[in-house]
Amino acid sequence: MLIGKFDLKHAVLCAAIALSAAACVTTPIPNEKIAVAKSSVQRAEQAGAPELAPVQMAAARDKLARAEKAASDHEAGPATELAEQANADAQLAEATAQEQRSHKAAVEFDANLQALRQESLRSSQPNQ
């Protein structure tokens, strides 16, 4: 009877190990995270990030390409991590581009306001 108990414990242990190994092998590829990262990269491109935030944009594109490669190689862990990083880099690129555009608009507004003030002062002075 001692051999029977050992065999049952051994069989249960082997089954648990096999299930754990199977779970690791079948980790789903993060297609949704890659799609989100692609969308973020596209939004950043449309926001002018390639010109206004080239470093962040290059990082986002590089990590997205690496995430897609890892996914095609069935490396779910690295693919997930790289897709999340690509998404964050793309969002940073988009925000940086928006900040650059806002800063440029503010500088132009200030220059126009200053020109109007000067024109107003000239027109309010009596002609000599």
What is the pLDDT tens value at each position of the chain, 128 positions in all?
Answer: 444 555 666 666 666 676 665 555 556 888 999 999 999 999 999 999 999 999 999 999 999 999 999 999 999 999 999 999 999 999 999 999 999 999 999 999 999 999 898 888 888 777 65
Which three-class secondary structure state does DSSP give residue 28?
coil
pLDDT at 15: 63
Look at the chain and report how many structural domains it folds into: 1
Nearest Cα to Cα of residue 64 among 46, 42, 95: 42
Query: What are the angstrom distances between the C-alpha of 5 and each of 1, 9, 65?
Result: 7, 6, 52
pLDDT at 24: 53
Return the residue matching tokens 């880099």. 89
The identity of residue 87, as a single letter, is N
The identity of residue 103, as a single letter, is H
pLDDT at 2: 45
pLDDT at 119: 87
User: Which pTM value belongs to this model?
Assistant: 0.69
Query: What are the angstrom distances between the C-alpha of 95 and each of 24, 29, 53, 75, 87?
Result: 37, 28, 9, 30, 12
pLDDT at 28: 80
pLDDT at 22: 54
CATH number, domain with residue 116:
1.20.1270.390
Query: ∠80-18-77 over CA atoms, to 5°?
Result: 10
Buried b (16+ CB within 10 A) or exposed e, 55-92: ebbebbbebbebbbebbeeebbeebbbbbbbbbbbbbb
pLDDT at 8: 63
Domain that holds residue 16: 2-124
Which three-class secondary structure state does DSSP give residue 46?
helix
